[in-house]
């Protein structure tokens, strides 16, 4: 079964890409022209940490969702191409999604995300 992303039990993305390696995490969505509406890049950190996300060489806006080690939503932001930047503390997972996803699915702090991070 392919990995999917759910929020409080509702499917919000079925096109999942995991960023587990340092290289993948450094590149993120840089140099891409766009992403599909049902897409999420999920950054998996080794342990909860301070994270900094920038939008250099990202050519389209994105929604950014920060999760703790229990996959609960701790915060989110909409970032603009090239100039966006966001930082948060004690984050284990970062989700980059199509701009508008937060509003479309009415995401809120404390909500529960579900995905199988062990999928290859």
Sheet holding 73-79, edge to edge: 15-19, 39-54, 85-98, 62-67, 73-79
Give residue 111's Cα distance to chain centre: 14
Domains of the chain listed by start with CATH number: 5-106 (2.60.120.1140)
- Predicted TM-score of the model (pTM): 0.93
pLDDT tens across the length of the chain (120 residues): 568 999 999 999 999 999 989 899 999 999 999 999 999 999 999 999 999 999 999 999 999 999 999 999 999 999 999 988 898 999 999 999 999 999 999 999 999 999 998 775
Burial 8-23 (b: 16+ CB within 10 A, else e): eeeebbeebebbeeee
Q: Which single residue is written with the structure tokens 């996300």?
A: 53
Q: Which residues pair with 79 in a beta bridge?
A: 62
- Report yes or no: 95 and 11 within 8 Å, Cβ to Cβ: no
- Cα–Cα distances (Å) from 112 to 22, 26, 70, 71, in that order, read 26, 26, 8, 6
């Amino acid at each position: 079964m392919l990995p999917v992303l759910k929020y409080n039990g509702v499917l919000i993305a079925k096109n999942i890409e995991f960023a587990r390696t340092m290289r993948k995490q450094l590149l993120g969505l840089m140099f891409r022209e766009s992403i599909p509406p049902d897409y999420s890049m999920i950054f998996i950190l080794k342990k909860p940490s301070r994270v900094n996300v920038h939008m250099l060489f990202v050519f389209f806006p994105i929604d950014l969702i920060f999760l703790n080690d229990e996959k609960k939503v701790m915060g989110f932001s909409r970032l603009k191409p090239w100039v966006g930047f966001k930082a948060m503390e004690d984050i284990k997972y970062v989700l980059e999604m199509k701009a508008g996803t937060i509003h479309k699915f009415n995401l809120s702090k404390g909500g529960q995300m579900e995905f199988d991070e062990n999928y290859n």
